[in-house]
Chains A and B, each alone.
Chain A
Amino acid sequence: MASDTLNPNPVVREVVRTKRTSEFDDDETVSDAFDTEEIFDLIRDIKDPEHGNLTLEQLNVTQQEYINFDTTNDSIDITFTPTIPHCSMVTLIGLCIRVKLIRSLPQRFKVTVKVTPGTHMSEDQVNKQLNDKERVAAALENPNLLEVVNKCLVKTQHQATAA
């Protein structure tokens, strides 16, 4: 398998975990709205489909700065950066991000997932496919694909206990 990997030596970044501090965290009476940090928390630990032992955050595929959250209309726009411009896993990575958010967020949120402009050769095609709800729905009914997605979304023992 190793010879099939497209980017055998990706740049891995050191992940620093800071404890969330919100002035309302301890106050159960205050309903605190979602923010980009919470959204990032949902997707940072998604495994890279190619490098199963590394997360999208470690590979710099996702960053909190790539998340744009418009609270006035509940719309969340996320971009992600494939590690290489011809990455064949790009659609799968986008699908994982979308699925994680579908499963975690209330239905009213409108999520757009796109490739960071200029970072992939088939950017337009990938963006179109990732944001076509019918294509996404059909893809998730494919058991093989769903299994791959689920594998990327499973938390490791270490992450589960740390969370």
Chain B
Amino acid sequence: QSTWGSNASTSMLTCLSSTEAHVDRAWCVAWSPAGNALASCSADKQIRLWGVREGRAEVMQVLEGSHDRTVRSVAWAPSGAMVASGAFDGVVAIHQANNGVFEHVASLEGHESEVKCVAWEHSGNLLATCSRDKSIWIWEALHGDSVGSGELVDFECVAVLHGHSQDVKCVTWHPLHQVLVSGSYDNSIKVWTEDDTDWVCVDTLDAHAATVWSVAFDASGTRFVSSGDDGTVIVWKSLPALTPNTSEHKWYEVCRLQGIHTRPVYSVHWCALTGAIVSAGQDDSICIYTLTSESEQGRVENYDVVCRVTRAHVTDINCVAWNPAVPGLLASCSDDGLVKLWQLTL
């Protein structure tokens, strides 16, 4: 591992394990809320659930048949009892745990073309999905009667958000409030919230010069980070800080990290436990950044690259995700079909 940044850093990212997870391109990895399991999905049309112990992933379950094309995105509900997946077949599938075994219980249809990303809101009541059809759908989970050990859940579309002029590549929820952020092939980022009963776009951020591939909030929800096809990572901050009743949203670019990745950056994630940002993409490298200083008004922040692993995979890295329970435990997946686990020591 090499270090990069203004100060000599002692931070290290150590590879704990490498698992041949899929026979084709692995698009996305997501940790369970308890942090003891990982979901991965692939162009091989599978979703795999992995138990993770001592830095190693052991397959628990293979979910097949819920999609007939590439599975692009996967996400655990906050309860840990459901996994949602979005695929190029335009379908969003819901898998629910029944006595510890996940079963395909629902297919949410409505998107006209490839689903690119699925994301659960913090309460688990809402699911956001986005697609090449330029729209974002918000689904509400309607909890029904208990059957066996599980509870039957039905989903209803409560809103269809239009505003992006091209494919919506990614969606992510604020960790505390009902605020959604989306990134698009139209190069913009949009912030959405519910105004009375309508979902409206409250801010549009045009700072990337190309497709926005990934967005992720910090633990407090004061900031989020975005990455793009332009090779740039941008940190955004809400000023004044967001409250549940804030109707006015104003997000400012407080830091721009460019020239670090040499090609498109497909994934960014903010560690809720260590505060470290991770980014990865087409240049096969993983970069870790931490906040080093900020201006008095908070309008400018400085982040240093504390750690960088070149050739972390032999080809494009599509997704990186921090474990929600173990500080500095990171998962990555790549076009090489591998899922790797890493440990950061700051």
Contacts and interface: CB of A to CB of B under 8 A. Distances in A.
Interface of A: 73, 107-108, 110, 128, 131-135, 137-138, 141
Nearest to B263: A110
B211 A128 contact: yes
Contact of A133 (B69, B132, B210, B316): B316
B315 A132 contact: no
A134 B43 contact: no
B70 A141 contact: yes
Interface in B118-159: 132
A134 B169 contact: yes
A137 B43 contact: yes
Contacts of B211: 128, 132
B185 A107 contact: no
Contacts of A128: 185, 210-211
Contacts of A108: 284, 314-315
A132 B335 contact: no
B340 interface: no
Nearest to B88: A138
B229 interface: yes
A138 B132 contact: yes
Given A73-B262, A132-B229, A107 B70 contact: no
A107 B317 CA distance: 12
**Range class of the B interface residue count:** 20 to 34
B164 interface: no
A141 B88 contact: yes
A123 B229 CA distance: 17
Max chain B C-beta neighbours (<10 A), residue from A110, A132, A133, A134: A134
B236 to A, nearest CB: 23
Nearest to A73: B262
A137 B132 contact: no
Contacts of B88: 137-138, 141
B255 to A, nearest CB: 26
Contacts of A137: 25, 43, 70, 88
10 contacts: A107-B315, A107-B335, A107-B336, A132-B185, A133-B282, A135-B167, A137-B43, A137-B70, A138-B88, A141-B88
Given A107-B315, A108-B314, A108-B315, A134 B116 contact: yes
B134 to A, nearest CB: 13
A137 B132 CA distance: 13
A107 B314 contact: yes
A141 B70 CA distance: 8
A138 B167 CA distance: 12
B114 interface: yes
A98 to B, nearest CB: 14
A107 to B, nearest CB: 4
Nearest to A129: B185
B111 interface: no
Contacts of B72: 134
A132 B185 CA distance: 9
A133 to B, nearest CB: 7
Nearest to B166: A128
Contacts of A135: 132, 167
Q: Across chains A and B, which 6 residue pairs bring their CB atoms closest together, nearest first?
A: A107-B315, A138-B114, A138-B88, A141-B69, A108-B314, A141-B88
B47 to A, nearest CB: 17
Nearest to A133: B316
A110 B263 CA distance: 9
Nearest to B45: A141
A133 B229 CA distance: 11
Contacts of A133: 282, 316
A138 B229 CA distance: 18
A31 B169 CA distance: 41
A132 to B, nearest CB: 6
Interface in B21-76: 25, 43, 69-70, 72
Contacts of B316: 133
Contacts of B282: 110, 133
B192 to A, nearest CB: 22
